[in-house]
A and B are shown apart, each in its own frame.
Chain A
Amino acid sequence: MSYQARFRVWRGDEAGGELTDYEVEVNEGEVVLDIVHRLQATQTPDLAVRWNCKAGKCGSCSAEVNGRPRLMCMTRMSTFSPEETVTITPMRTFPVIKDLVTDVSFNYEKAREIPSFQPPEGVAAGEYRMAQEDVQRSQEFRKCIECFLCQNTCHVVRDHEENKAAFAGPRFLMRQAELEMHPLDARKRRAEEAQEEHGLGYCNITKCCTEVCPEHIHITDNALIPLKERAVDRKYDPLVWLGSKIRRRTG
């Protein structure tokens, strides 16, 4: 079941680079990251790539495979025909460091701008009581593995460097939604904060983020839209909030 595949991998650094062609063996059951590792071991040992778990759990090996933002460890070679050339490029929204490795510090800066969980006053450790159905909504968002593919894909920043300062991106707007829906978070006005300070208004719910999420989190439907509705609702209409609950998708 082995065959020789044609790969094109972007090689270069901040000064520039180009797609380089490789012919490389592919075996049954392999994923794109296996092939990148084979390139390192047999043809180009200094090919830079991030990876950790190779099981879709850590979110390190994000890249664009044939133009689609993907985790390389979860992209099986069987999804391509043996004749097809597979092209791997680094995530486009973040500055390149070297080859497939990008500078994702934007995301860590945004993470720091979202106010942390605020514990409820007068509730001691060990005394937290929450119902499963109430934690479930935030738990969906906490499945996030921080691969930053949603941040990479979101058109607000993908080709608009100028928006980066004012826009936290889907991952961190979702973090606000997660805390907003946390049954015991004591901080008020998170939805309004998301709107006023973290650029929620830039999002026009095209759902690109949801589409690329390897964890299949319904970022738009379950986090961003309800957050938008809450932001509006507190100012205008309490019924909108109810609507958001009915519309919520599960699974």
Chain B
Amino acid sequence: MTEAERHTYDVVVIGAGGAGLRAAIEARAHGMRTAIICKSLFGKAHTVMAEGGIAASMGNVNSNDNWQVHFRDTMRGGKFLNHFRMAELHAREAPDRVWELETWGALFDRTKDGRISQRNFGGHEYPRLAHVGDRTGLELIRTLQQQVVALQQQDEREFGDPEARIKVFAEHTVTRILKDGSRVAGVFGYARETGRFFTIEAPAVVLATGGIGKSFKVTSNSWEYTGDGHALALLAGAPLMNMEFVQFHPTGMVWPPSVKGILVTESVRGDGGVLRNSEGDRFMFKYIPDVFKSQYAQGPDEADRWYADPDNNRRPPELLPRDEVARAINNEVKEGRGSPHGGVFLDVSTRMPAEEIKRRLPSMHHQFLELADVDITAEPMEVGPTCHYVMGGVAVDPDTAQAEDVPGLYAAGEVAGGMHGSNRLGGNSLSDLLVFGRRAGLHAAEYAGGIGADRPVVGQQAVDAAAEEALRPFGLAEMVEPDGPPEGGGPPENPYTLHTELQQTMNDLVGIIRREPEMREALQRLARLRARAKQAVVEGHRQFNPGWHLALDLRNMLLVSECVARAALTRTESRGGHTRDDFPTMDREWRRKLLICRLAAGAETAEVTPRPNPAMRRDLMELFDAEELQKYLTDEELQHYSSEDAEGQE
């Protein structure tokens, strides 16, 4: 029988970034004993790296803004594949979620009249992003972290125990969701510090684990982003959706090699920075797609006038949604107009005075000076696309954030799918975390609170199986050392080598531009890597052993990478964060289909099946004009709406 530290809670939140902390605060506010499981130290989650801001239509800078405009921008950014209800809830609730942060101590940059300042960003019609310089994510995570502390101080006063109702399990990793029948019963995992196992029995589990970027070589994501929540959901029997849509942020650092991929915030462009190729050409004007022609400036003069007079000019094309800008940069480089280190030039130095750059973009100034010897107030940056965000995730109910098919399982933030469709707008992530983090916490609390005496139970067998799985790399080491290769497998494998090969595969074969033969090749390589990963061997003991941690994370990265590759192979069109060289155009028929990934019990790879994309509610459809809808909807769908129109008029 496995020795594992045992706890009991009402709600377990896996992940301590923006979504996880917001969910935990909400669950605790509804009286639930709540556990937060945090892969790193408390306050270090990937949210900390978000730079630009939180999108919310408060209308502080341009009073024309409202939730309907935000909703419209979000749907356009996602090329109409978004779940309309999620996009609606997000746009409606984001302002309240931002204002609430102020009551917990957040200090955003201000407008002249003392309200929260808002900045321009790609795809957003009005200045919409609440921000603190270019370190908004830090402000968000610190505010939520400090609110958790505030709740613990309350508990200290009330019960003499700060952890009476909310506890952070820092540097703990969950490797399995445990179930009782079809329902969630708890979680199993290990503590990094000691290597010991733990189980938490709880009827409700919120996944808030973020994304999958560490499966790619060039990424802006931190080490935690190994697709844990995606994989945990699949293994627990919940489906994922939209996994083919992976966002490559157009501007990552490209030099020196060791920092390749580190994010250069979109605020650089939002605040006036421009993209140029090696010929000095401001090339984005050539890349405005038809669907956006009416909303973007056709030349530099109009674009430059827009910053001062947005009502009478159209936006510069540097502020197109991220997928468009990333593809444009990719193409400039491919056609030989790249910068010396294989990117393009992003310049603010000629656009505003040095002092203003340092005030508005302090982290960028610091980052380039310290890591690349580049003074961005005097010279342009070199930038190129970097894997940044996965739009795909756990298929959830839009209102409750409950995962399909597994009662008691919830998902919020990057690990949940649907909200962003095929491409996320900058700034919509932090607001997503808050809006759906709160909803997940609320509904998990209601579910757990209503369960009464019928609490699911964690079975010893499941705990033993999870422990055996986690110990496998050590067991192999014992088998390998005295007698050579273990039975039935190949030679022992180094988890770091496997990880590097996985990243190279995904980067080269399922990256920003995709082709059928390459994706087939990727799937073959992934299958071989999966077999080899079973031979991953760990040296040393269980206490804080990064090699072991990586060996366990590999399972998740491989599972999720296969979902991405398989879904990408299936979708024979280009849309948002999925670009097919062999199917270069957007196909209106494909908008009606979502790709669902499921893992059958005992199966090693997920199956991908299409299902219909739910039709948008009519009042939301009416926020767009017919001409625009024609670009996205099939004739059949349009006819359906216009016939409803006709009925309505009768």
Inter-chain contacts of A97 with B (CB < 8 A):
193, 543-544
Tell whether A117 is near chain B: CB-to-CB under 8 Å: yes
Tell whether B233 is near chain A: CB-to-CB under 8 Å: no
Tell whether A163 is near chain B: CB-to-CB under 8 Å: no
Chain B residue, CB-CB nearest to A52: B222
Give CA–CA (A230, B371) in the complex, Å: 39
B110 touches A111 (CB 8 A): no
Tell whether B313 is near chain A: CB-to-CB under 8 Å: no
B48 touches A58 (CB 8 A): yes
Inter-chain contacts of A76 with B (CB < 8 A):
370-371
A50 touches B139 (CB 8 A): no
Tell whether A54 is near chain B: CB-to-CB under 8 Å: yes
Q: How close is B52's CB to chain A, nearest CB, in angstroms? A: 13
B107 touches which of A42, A54, A142, A145 (Cβ 8 Å):
A142
Tell whether A234 is near chain B: CB-to-CB under 8 Å: no
Tell whether B182 is near chain A: CB-to-CB under 8 Å: no
Tell whether A138 is near chain B: CB-to-CB under 8 Å: yes
B40 touches which of A13, A27, A52, A130 (Cβ 8 Å):
A52
B539 touches which of A46, A56, A98, A185 (Cβ 8 Å):
A46
A57 touches B138 (CB 8 A): yes
A142 touches which of B100, B139, B257, B496 (Cβ 8 Å):
B139
Tell whether A232 is near chain B: CB-to-CB under 8 Å: no
Give CA–CA (A51, B546) in the complex, Å: 11
Interface size on A, residues (CB 8 A): 59
Tell whether A119 is near chain B: CB-to-CB under 8 Å: yes
B222 touches A48 (CB 8 A): no
A58 touches B222 (CB 8 A): yes
Tell whether B529 is near chain A: CB-to-CB under 8 Å: no
Which of A28, A45, A56, A59: most chain B CB closer than 10 A? A45
Q: Which of A29-37, A150-158, A236-244 contacts B (4 or more CB under 8 A)?
A: A29-37
Tell whether A205 is near chain B: CB-to-CB under 8 Å: no
Give CA–CA (A138, B497) in the complex, Å: 45
Give CA–CA (A129, B107) in the complex, Å: 11
Tell whether B360 is near chain A: CB-to-CB under 8 Å: no
Inter-chain contacts of A146 with B (CB < 8 A):
43
B366 touches A112 (CB 8 A): no
Q: How close is B561's CB to chain A, nearest CB, in angstroms? A: 19
A143 touches which of B104, B138, B170, B545 (Cβ 8 Å):
B138
Which of B138, B153, B170, B539: most chain A CB closer than 10 A? B138
Q: How close is A179's CB to chain B, nearest CB, in angstroms? A: 8
B49 touches A46 (CB 8 A): no
Give CA–CA (A128, B115) in the complex, Å: 7
Q: How close is A109's CB to chain B, nearest CB, in angstroms? A: 10
Give CA–CA (A111, B107) in the complex, Å: 19
B545 touches A46 (CB 8 A): yes
Tell whether B263 is near chain A: CB-to-CB under 8 Å: yes
Which of B41, B494, B497: most chain A CB closer than 10 A? B41
Tell whether A81 is near chain B: CB-to-CB under 8 Å: no
Once A60-B41, A112-B162, A128-B102 are accepted as A-B contacts, the answer to whether A52 and B545 lie under 8 Å apart by CB is no
Tell whether B223 is near chain A: CB-to-CB under 8 Å: yes
Once A119-B103, A125-B99, A126-B95 are accepted as A-B contacts, the answer to whether A108 and B139 lie under 8 Å apart by CB is no
Tell whether B629 is near chain A: CB-to-CB under 8 Å: no
Once A13-B543, A125-B96 are accepted as A-B contacts, the answer to whether A28 and B114 lie under 8 Å apart by CB is no
Q: How close is A33's CB to chain B, nearest CB, in angstroms? A: 9
A27 touches which of B258, B497, B539 (Cβ 8 Å):
B258
Once A135-B107, A142-B142 are accepted as A-B contacts, the answer to whether A45 and B495 lie under 8 Å apart by CB is yes
Tell whether A40 is near chain B: CB-to-CB under 8 Å: yes
Once A40-B546, A48-B545 are accepted as A-B contacts, the answer to whether A108 and B48 lie under 8 Å apart by CB is no
Give CA–CA (A184, B422) in the complex, Å: 41
Once A130-B110, A131-B110, A145-B138 are accepted as A-B contacts, the answer to whether A52 and B494 lie under 8 Å apart by CB is no
Give CA–CA (A27, B162) in the complex, Å: 48
Tell whether A194 is near chain B: CB-to-CB under 8 Å: no
Tell whether B113 is near chain A: CB-to-CB under 8 Å: yes
Q: How close is B54's CB to chain A, nearest CB, in angstroms? A: 14
A101 touches which of B156, B366, B541, B544 (Cβ 8 Å):
B544
Inter-chain contacts of B262 with A (CB < 8 A):
54-55
Q: How close is B487's CB to chain A, nearest CB, in angstroms? A: 23
B44 touches A58 (CB 8 A): yes
Once A52-B46, A74-B370, A129-B115 are accepted as A-B contacts, the answer to whether A46 and B40 lie under 8 Å apart by CB is no
Inter-chain contacts of A56 with B (CB < 8 A):
366-367, 370-371
Inter-chain contacts of A24 with B (CB < 8 A):
none
Tell whether B105 is near chain A: CB-to-CB under 8 Å: yes
B494 touches A60 (CB 8 A): no
Chain A residue, CB-CB nearest to B96: A125
Inter-chain contacts of B544 with A (CB < 8 A):
48, 97-99, 101
Give CA–CA (A47, B108) in the complex, Å: 40
- B interface footprint on A106-122 (CB within 8 Å = 1, 0 otherwise): 00100110011101000
Give CA–CA (A150, B547) in the complex, Å: 30
Give CA–CA (A58, B255) in the complex, Å: 21
Tell whether B400 is near chain A: CB-to-CB under 8 Å: no
Tell whether A53 is near chain B: CB-to-CB under 8 Å: yes
Once A46-B548, A117-B150 are accepted as A-B contacts, the answer to whether A138 and B107 lie under 8 Å apart by CB is yes
Q: How close is A173's CB to chain B, nearest CB, in angstroms? A: 16
Chain A residue, CB-CB nearest to B105: A117
Q: How close is A152's CB to chain B, nearest CB, in angstroms? A: 14
A46 touches B547 (CB 8 A): yes
A29 touches B255 (CB 8 A): yes
Q: How close is B37's CB to chain A, nearest CB, in angstroms? A: 16
A47 touches which of B43, B147, B222, B546 (Cβ 8 Å):
B546
Give CA–CA (A145, B104) in the complex, Å: 18
Once A30-B256, A40-B496, A125-B102 are accepted as A-B contacts, the answer to whether A60 and B110 lie under 8 Å apart by CB is no
Inter-chain contacts of B100 with A (CB < 8 A):
125
B257 touches A57 (CB 8 A): no
B138 touches A45 (CB 8 A): no
Inter-chain contacts of B69 with A (CB < 8 A):
none
Give CA–CA (A207, B483) in the complex, Å: 59
Give CA–CA (A50, B40) in the complex, Å: 8
Once A46-B538, A60-B41, A98-B544 are accepted as A-B contacts, the answer to whether A53 and B110 lie under 8 Å apart by CB is no
A129 touches B113 (CB 8 A): yes
Tell whether A206 is near chain B: CB-to-CB under 8 Å: no
Tell whether B152 is near chain A: CB-to-CB under 8 Å: yes
Give CA–CA (A59, B147) in the complex, Å: 20
A115 touches B153 (CB 8 A): yes
Tell whether B581 is near chain A: CB-to-CB under 8 Å: no
Task: Please report which residues of chain B, range 76-90, place their CB below 8 angstroms from some CB of chain A when the two chains form the complex.
Answer: none
Give CA–CA (A48, B547) in the complex, Å: 9
Tell whether A208 is near chain B: CB-to-CB under 8 Å: no
Give CA–CA (A34, B257) in the complex, Å: 11
Tell whether A139 is near chain B: CB-to-CB under 8 Å: yes
Inter-chain contacts of B149 with A (CB < 8 A):
111-112, 116
Tell whether A166 is near chain B: CB-to-CB under 8 Å: no
Tell whether B462 is near chain A: CB-to-CB under 8 Å: no
Chain B residue, CB-CB nearest to A125: B99
Inter-chain contacts of A54 with B (CB < 8 A):
222, 259, 262
Q: How close is B15's CB to chain A, nearest CB, in angstroms? A: 13
A45 touches B496 (CB 8 A): yes
Tell whether B224 is near chain A: CB-to-CB under 8 Å: yes
Chain B residue, CB-CB nearest to A143: B135
B223 touches A51 (CB 8 A): yes
28 interchain pairs, CB-CB under 8 A: A29-B255, A29-B371, A30-B256, A45-B495, A45-B496, A45-B540, A45-B545, A45-B546, A46-B539, A46-B541, A46-B546, A53-B49, A57-B48, A58-B48, A59-B44, A76-B371, A98-B544, A104-B41, A108-B42, A112-B149, A116-B149, A116-B153, A131-B110, A132-B110, A135-B110, A139-B132, A139-B133, A182-B105
User: Given contacts A29-B257, A112-B153, A142-B107, could you give 15 more A-B pairs where the C-beta distance is less than 8 Å?
Assistant: A30-B258, A46-B540, A46-B548, A51-B223, A53-B49, A57-B363, A59-B44, A98-B544, A117-B104, A126-B95, A128-B99, A128-B103, A129-B114, A131-B114, A182-B107
